[in-house]
Structure 1
Amino acid sequence: MDFLVLIGRILFVPMFLASALGHLARSTAMAGYPAAKGVPAPRAAVLGSGAVMLLGGLSVLLGVWPDLGALLLAAFLLPTAVLMHAYWKETDAGARQNEMIHFQKNVALGGAALMLTGLFAIAGDETGLMWTGPLF
C-alpha cells in the first residue's frame, strides 16, 4: 500500500507546483484578479499563495512532514474557495459558472488535503516511502 500512497501523492501535487510557479513567476500580471476581488496588497497575496502552494506541494510530494504540507494546502484552499470564488455573488452566467467550478475544485481538493493530513497522522511512519514521518 505504500506504493499506492506514493502514486496518490505524485498525482495530487503537480497542479499545486505548476500554479505556484505561475504565481511566483508572474505575480505582477496575476495581481489583477485578487485586486478585483478587493484583496489588500494583491501582489503580496499572489506571492504568498505561490509560496504556500510550493511548500505544501513539495512537502506532500517528497514526504517531508507531509501531514503539515497537506494541512497547509487545505488551509489555503478552503478559505480561497469562499473568498476568491464566491460564485453566488456573480450576476453574469458565464462568470458564475466559472467561479462555481473553481469553488468546487478548491473545496474538493481541500477535502482531499484534509484526508491526506489524517492519513499521514494516523498511519505515521507506516505510510512508508517518505523522507520524514509526520510532524503531528
Structure 2
Amino acid sequence: MSQTNYIAAVGRLLLAIMFIISGFGKIMAPEATQGYIASVGLPLPLLSYLLAIAVELGGGILLIVGYQTRIVSLAVAAFTLVTALVFHNDFADQNQMIHFLKNISITGGLLQVTAFGAGALSLDGRRLRTA
C-alpha cells in the first residue's frame, strides 16, 4: 500500500479531531454556546447549536472513517468558512484574526480532501475496491 494512503488517513484524522473535541465542548456547555451564538445575532440559537454539534461530531466521525468523504468534507468546509465569517470577523482583535485565519486554513485542507478523496484506507476506498 502506498505511503500516500497513510498520509491521507492521518490527514483526515488530524482534521477531524478538532471538530470532534469542539462538538463535545458544545455538548458540555449548551447555555454558554447558545449564548455565544445569540451574541452575534443569529436567530434560533438552539437550532444553530444543534446543527453545529451535528456537523462537528457527525462530520468528524465520518471524516475519520472515510465515509462519503468528498461530500462530508465539502459540507464541513462550508460550515468552517461560515463560522469564520460570522464568529471571527473582528479583525481589529488579533485573537479573532488568528481564529479567522485558522478557520480559512482548515477550510483549505478540507477542500483538498474534497478534491482528492479519502484514499484507500477508508470506507470509501474499501467500497471502490469491492465494486
TM tier, shorter chain? 0.7 to 0.9
Distance in 2 (alpha carbons) for counterparts of 1:48 and 1:27: 13
Given candidates 22, 34, 37, the residue that maps to 1:34 is 37
Separation in structure 1 between the aligned mates of residue 122 and residue 43 of structure 2, nearest angstrom: 38
* 1:109 equivalent among 101, 106, 109: 106
Partner of 1:45: 48
Match of 2:124, SS state, is: coil
**Greater length-normalized contact order (CA 8 Å, ≥ 6 residues apart):** 2
2:94: which partner in 1? Answer: 97
One-letter amino acid matched to 1:22: G
Write the deviation string for residues 74-120 of structure 1: whole angstroms up to 9, x where unpaired.
010111111111113x5xxxxx1121111111111011111110011
Q: Which residue of 2 aligns with 1:84?
A: 87
Aligned-CA RMSD value: 1.7
Q: Report the TM-score, using the length of structure 2 for normalisation.
A: 0.85
What residue is the counterpart of 1:57 in the other structure? 60
Which stretch of the first structure deviates more once superposed, 24-33 or 55-64? 24-33
What is the match of residue 23 of structure 2? 20
Which one-letter code corresponds to 2:30 in the other structure?
Answer: S
TM-score between both structures, scaled by the size of structure 1: 0.82
Instruction: Give the count of matched residue pairs.
Output: 123
CA distances 1:10-53 after superposition (whole Å, capped 9, x unpaired) = 22211100001112332222111111111112232122111111
Q: AA paired with 1:129? A: L
Q: Which runs of 5+ in 1 are unaligned?
A: 91-95
Where structure 2 has 5 or more consecutive residues not aligned to the other structure, the ranges are none
CA–CA distance in structure 2, aligned partners of residues 54 and 83 of structure 1: 20
- Tell me which stretches of 4 or more aligned residues in structure 1 moved more than 2 Å: none
